[in-house]
């Protein structure tokens, strides 16, 4: 059976879809059959970041409504044979996602995939609740600023009380913290929360720290998960995230201000 991962946050714009794309690609590149589902009905951004927007014929809602079967809607990634994308609808209402319908799709995917990544909308609206309900693991994505951290702390309460695992008194969802858009220079100037500040509020396992990087926007605009950009710090950070999730013990990077070489010191502004 597949392991079901929800990528969620309390606030929009923190990098959930970037994370869903990067983690799903990272898992697939390590040999795991992986499906990633867009739960943000009405917006649909995952297919853009994955570079498959022109290949969408049927979507998640079509499958739920039995207007198409799963094989018709799944899009195989051109860069990795182990990765499949299930886009959502741009035209339906969010209530088109039903608990039974989502469960049926996930159950069918579980028969042939190792991991299912659920790219959730922000907050506690209907699509987000549907994305969280069947989760085995949750990646809580936050930016290091107080409103993002506070809102995401609330999501932990919902995961602990309204997920299928909570309702059926099963083992709790495994929760992981992912800090994105981290800038050590701004932390040093007290313009941004530090890793310790975030963990004081969200006391769960730290899975990764993704630094602020132009490569994230560049990758998104080119329809490429940033994890494929191995020369960028953000790409390296997501590679680390996948390794840690799979059980490797590696130190966290990108938490300190980079040391400047002799020319940087001589010509410091």
Which two structure tokens, joined as six digits, stand for 63? Answer: 């499958």
Q: How far is CA 108 from CA 89, 206, 220, in A?
A: 20, 31, 29
Cα 198 to Cα 47: distance, rounded to the nearest angstrom: 31
- Using the predicted structure, report yes or no on whether residue 109 has a pLDDT greater than 70: yes
* Mean per-residue pLDDT, 263-269: 47
Which two structure tokens, joined as six digits, stand for 102? Answer: 């989502």
Between 122 and 7, name the one with better pLDDT: 7
- Using the predicted structure, report yes or no on whether residue 53 has a pLDDT greater than 80: yes
In which residue are the tokens 């220079």 written? 185
Neighbours of 177 (CB within 10 A): 23
Pairing outcome for strands 205-211 and 83-86: unpaired
Cα 229 to Cα 210: distance, rounded to the nearest angstrom: 13
Collapsed DSSP state (helix, strand, coil) of residue 107: helix
What is the DSSP code (8-state) at residue 255?
Answer: -
What's the length of the chain? 269
**123 — pLDDT class (breaks 50, 70, 90):** confident
Neighbours of 249 (CB within 10 A): 6
With vertex at residue 175, the alpha carbon angle to CA 133 and CA 130, rounded to the nearest 5 degrees, is 15
Residue 257: phi and psi, rounded to 5, are -65, 125
- Using the predicted structure, report yes or no on whether residue 261 has a pLDDT greater than 70: no
| Predicted pLDDT at 269 | 41
- pLDDT tens across 138-147, in order? 999 999 999 9
What is the DSSP code (8-state) at residue 269?
Answer: -
- pLDDT tens across 185-232, in order? 999 999 999 999 999 999 999 999 999 999 999 999 999 999 999 999
Neighbours of 69 (CB within 10 A): 12
Put the strands of the sheet holding 3-8 in their side by side order: 75-76, 83-86, 34-38, 115-119, 3-8, 137-142, 174-182, 205-211
- Using the predicted structure, report yes or no on whether residue 265 has a pLDDT greater than 80: no
Exposed, middle or buried: residue 97 (CB in 10 Å: 0-12, 13-18, 19+)?
buried
What rounded mean pLDDT belongs to the chain? Answer: 94
Greatest extent of the chain over all pairs of C-alpha atoms, in Å: 66
- pLDDT tens across 154-186, in order? 899 999 999 999 999 999 999 999 999 999 999
**pLDDT above 70: percentage of residues in the chain:** 96
| Predicted pLDDT at 234 | 97
Residue 182: phi and psi, rounded to 5, are -85, 135
């Amino acid at each position: 059976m597949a392991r079901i991962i929800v990528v969620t946050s309390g606030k929009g714009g923190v990098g959930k879809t970037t994370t869903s794309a990067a983690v799903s690609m990272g898992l697939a590149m390590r040999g795991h059959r992986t499906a990633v589902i867009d739960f943000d009905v009405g917006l649909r951004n995952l297919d853009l970041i994955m570079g498959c927007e022109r290949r969408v014929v049927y979507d998640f809602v079509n499958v739920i409504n039995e207007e198409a079967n799963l094989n018709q809607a799944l899009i195989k990634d051109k860069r990795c044979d182990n990765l499949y994308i299930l886009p959502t609808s741009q035209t339906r209402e969010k209530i088109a996602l039903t608990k039974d319908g989502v469960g049926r799709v996930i159950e069918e995917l579980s028969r042939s995939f190792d991991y299912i990544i659920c790219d959730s909308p922000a907050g506690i609206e209907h699509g987000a609740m549907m994305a969280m309900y069947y989760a085995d693991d949750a990646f809580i994505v936050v930016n290091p600023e107080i409103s993002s951290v506070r809102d995401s702390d609330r999501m932990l309460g919902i995961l602990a009380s309204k997920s299928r695992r909570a309702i059926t008194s099963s083992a709790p969802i495994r929760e992981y913290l992912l800090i994105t858009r981290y800038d050590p220079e701004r932390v040093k100037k007290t313009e941004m929360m530090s890793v310790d500040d975030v963990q004081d509020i969200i006391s769960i396992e730290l899975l990764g720290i993704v630094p602020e990087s132009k490569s994230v926007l560049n990758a998104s605009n080119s329809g490429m998960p940033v994890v494929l950009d191995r020369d960028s710090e953000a790409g390296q950070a997501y590679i680390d995230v996948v390794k840690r999730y799979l059980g490797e013990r590696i130190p966290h990077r990108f938490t300190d201000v980079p040391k400047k070489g002799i020319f940087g010191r001589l010509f410091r502004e």
